[in-house]
Amino acid sequence: IYSKNAKIYIGRKSFSGPNLTIISGDHPYLPGMYMRDMRKNLLPNAKDFDSDIVIEQDVWIGANVTILKGVKIGRGAVIAAGSVVVRDIPPYAIGVGVPAKVLKFKWGPDDILTHESYLFENENGNERMNKEQISQMINYFKRELDRIH
């Protein structure tokens, strides 16, 4: 885990395979300066190069995964081994590849609702997703997948 000016949040009951890499920052680059000579901490906008990372609860991250700055991985998601996560992965989605993209969802809306009813019974302010939210999320990503393929 590499983080200097950002926070990394890892939710309860999330786990990973070996060799997980989490990097919350970037290298600055400016015209007229060698990148190797830059010292991020001397730049007035140093924090602009780092962003928080959020891994919600019940996330399964496979072996040799890299997660980069500014990413949120939703609860119940699965990240396939060897993936590089550079953008958000929604709850209960299966993210695969370099860069990681939503391949499909673990379950349909009814199974997600059942799962949520067991795990998120108004506990610690966690809000359960309702069927409409789940269906909208799944349909949005299915349309995106259809558009790409």
Q: Give long-range contacts, CB 8 A cutoff, 24+ apart: 41-50.
A: 46/5, 47/5, 47/6, 49/5, 49/25, 50/3, 50/4, 50/5, 50/6, 50/24, 50/25, 50/26
Query: Is the per-residue pLDDT at 101 higher than 80?
Result: yes
15, 17, 26, 27: the active-site residue: 27
Query: Is the per-residue pLDDT at 46 higher than 70?
Result: no
Please tell me the least confidently modeled range out of 21-30, 98-107, 140-149. Answer: 140-149
pLDDT at residue 129, rounded to an integer: 82
Assess whether 27 carries a catalytic annotation.
Answer: yes
pLDDT at residue 67, rounded to an integer: 98
pLDDT band at 40 (very low <50, low <70, confident <90, very high): low
Query: Is the per-residue pLDDT at 123 higher than 70?
Result: no
More confident residue, 143 or 18: 18
pLDDT at residue 84, rounded to an integer: 98
More confident residue, 81 or 29: 81
Confidence (pTM): 0.85
Please tell me the least confidently modeled range out of 62-66, 96-100, 110-114. Answer: 110-114
Query: Is the per-residue pLDDT at 33 higher than 80?
Result: no
pLDDT at residue 130, rounded to an integer: 81
Above pLDDT 90, what percent of the chain?
A: 52
pLDDT at residue 53, rounded to an integer: 97
Cα 64 to Cα 3, 19, 135: the distances in Å are 18, 5, 31
More confident residue, 63 or 108: 63
